[in-house]
Amino acid sequence: MNMPQIKPITYDPSAATIAEHGLAADDLAKLAPQLDAARDEVLADAELWDAGGDVPAKKQPLDAGFMELPQRLLAEYRARRDDSELGRILSTARRLRESVDRVVVLGIGGSYMGARSLMEGCCHPYHNELPRGERGGVPRMYFEGNNVDNDASQGLLDLLRGTDDAWAIVVISKSGGTLETAAAFRQFLAALRTSVNNDEKLIAQRVVPVTGSSGRLFDLSAALGCPDVFPVPDGVGGRFSILSAVGLLPAAILGLDVVRLLEAAAAMNARFKDAPVGDNPVLDYVGVSHLMERDHGATMRVLSVWAKGLESIGLWYDQLLAESLGKTEQHGATPLTVLNTRDLHSRGQQHQAGRRDKLITNVIVEAWRRDPLSIGISELDQDQLNVLADKTLPEIMTAAIAGTNKAYAEDGRPTTDLRLPQLDEASLGQLLQMLMLATVVEGRLIGVNPYGQPGVEAYKKHMNAFLRGE
């Protein structure tokens, strides 16, 4: 596939190699045979899935469809343009951009965290506050159906009822039966109905469902006559679905370059397949994280993000890792996203001097999108900042990262650095695919099926029983 140059993201684990509490210089190389075997298994899973072969019982469930998804969507788009799935996503996004000024995305877990992380990663930080022109002519976006918080839902309904702006709903649920999302859909659909004076045609046009090929939401969409319904493809589980319509449709509505996002993910797939341990961000990240957990008790994985736009990506990853590997009572490190420098003032003390159960992975953006903002000179120098007047926020951030890494190294706290050239679609596509691949590789390495989330069923069953008085 002929793809434009993507500046690669990098993973540098050298600061995890420290005496006593960290790795020895050759630890990762020694683990290479097991990492290679886990990669082979993951690639074989993807091939098996693509070939539609029988999945052996011990591999069930096998949602390996996410791996080849970027290449498949791009190839189809290049061959069939408007008739392809991506072509349809782009044209529905265009239709919504042109007809409404607000979009409510309903979904929970894997059915909304990806879309939110793409919005926060790539849009203006105050996107929803800006006038349409300054938003690049794209709608405001809100997320609901991810809780049953009465006042939060009422708050959003207040906002929608109080505006003359046209608005639409993108409702996302793979199963189509998740109570939080289903209840919100009913409530927001009623509000939408009122806002369009019960115009059935407009209602159908202003609801875009993303769901499995059967189920309650699928049936509701048919009953509403929605012209555009998108699939969560078979073999793509909720938390692995960010690069399907689940994440791509909201991203395209926001005007993000979803083609670039997919190209970047495909580039990460190619690196994953070909590069050896020591030069492979997926295998190196898994190897270092696993060794720190196995040999040094680092059961906490701290994803330390150094840009506000990355916090939601951290939360998306928390969900991905926790639901995928937290299964057998013994395995599955606990993920924790921290946003720095903010959380240095809340969690920093513990990470510096608390229990030695953490591996810190920094996620660092190398180039900021906007011009650097300097502190500036002031006649009032009581704060004694004139001496730093020329320093910019990027310079202060760089010093904070270096200072924190140095302080952690002095206390024998292992850290690693994931570096993104920019906070944009090219970097995020690589990062998202890298973290999804890493999660399944680690699952195969430790013998935990990364797909499915049987543990979550228990709360659903009990909640339903309480509600229905069973």
List interacting residues with ligand PA5 (CB under 6 A): 108-111, 173-175, 178, 181, 237-239, 323, 453
DSSP alpha helices (H): ranges in 280-347? 281-296, 311-325
Residue 178 or 269 with smaller CB distance to ligand PA5:
178
Which residues lie closer than 8 Å to 407 by C-beta, 6 or more apart? 352
User: Whole-angstrom Cα distance, residue 337 to residue 111?
Assistant: 19
As a dihedral over the C-alpha atoms of residue 385, residue 389, residue 395, residue 397, rounded to 10 degrees, the angle is 30
User: Whole-angstrom Cα distance, residue 44 to residue 37?
Assistant: 10
CB of 213 to ligand PA5, least distance (A): 13
CB of 317 to ligand PA5, least distance (A): 12
Residue 13 or 110 with smaller CB distance to ligand PA5:
110
Residue 102 or 174 with smaller CB distance to ligand PA5:
174
Nearest alpha carbon to residue 61 among 299, 424, 327, 342: 327
Residue 17 or 175 with smaller CB distance to ligand PA5:
175
Amino acid at 76: E
CB of 252 to ligand PA5, least distance (A): 19
CB of 439 to ligand PA5, least distance (A): 11
Residue 173 or 430 with smaller CB distance to ligand PA5:
173
User: Whole-angstrom Cα distance, residue 69 to residue 292?
Assistant: 31
> In 10 A of CB 137, how many CB atoms?
11
CB of 246 to ligand PA5, least distance (A): 8
Residue 30 or 460 with smaller CB distance to ligand PA5:
460
CB of 239 to ligand PA5, least distance (A): 3
Residue 223 phi/psi, 5° resolution? -65, -35
Of 58, 345, 379, 470, catalytic: 345
**Active-site residue flag, 345:** yes
Answer yes or no: are the C-beta atoms of 162 and 95 closer than 8 Å. no
Write out the two tokens for 54.
């029988």
Write out the two tokens for 394.
């990027």
Which residues lie closer than 8 Å to 422 by C-beta, 6 or more apart? 7, 365, 366, 367, 369
- Residue whose beta carbon is closest to ligand PA5: 238
Answer yes or no: are the C-beta atoms of 168 and 104 closer than 8 Å. yes
Sheet holding 358-367, edge to edge: 10-12, 415-422, 358-367, 300-305, 334-339
CB of 303 to ligand PA5, least distance (A): 18
CB of 195 to ligand PA5, least distance (A): 25
Residue 108 or 435 with smaller CB distance to ligand PA5:
108
> In 10 A of CB 311, how many CB atoms?
19
CB of 235 to ligand PA5, least distance (A): 13
Characterize the bridge pairing of strands 415-422 and 10-12.
Answer: antiparallel
User: Whole-angstrom Cα distance, residue 345 to residue 347?
Assistant: 6
**Active-site residue flag, 460:** yes
Q: What is the Cα 311 distance to its own chain's centre?
A: 10
Answer yes or no: are the C-beta atoms of 360 and 408 closer than 8 Å. yes
DSSP alpha helices (H): ranges in 85-212? 85-99, 113-122, 150-161, 179-195, 200-205
Of 201, 460, 461, 462, catalytic: 460
Residue 181 or 205 with smaller CB distance to ligand PA5:
181
Residue 32 or 179 with smaller CB distance to ligand PA5:
179
The continuous run of DSSP H or E covering 334 comes out as strand 334-339
Of 323, 327, 351, 442, catalytic: 323
Q: What is the Cα 22 distance to its own chain's centre?
A: 28
Query: Catalytic residues, which ones?
Result: 323, 345, 460
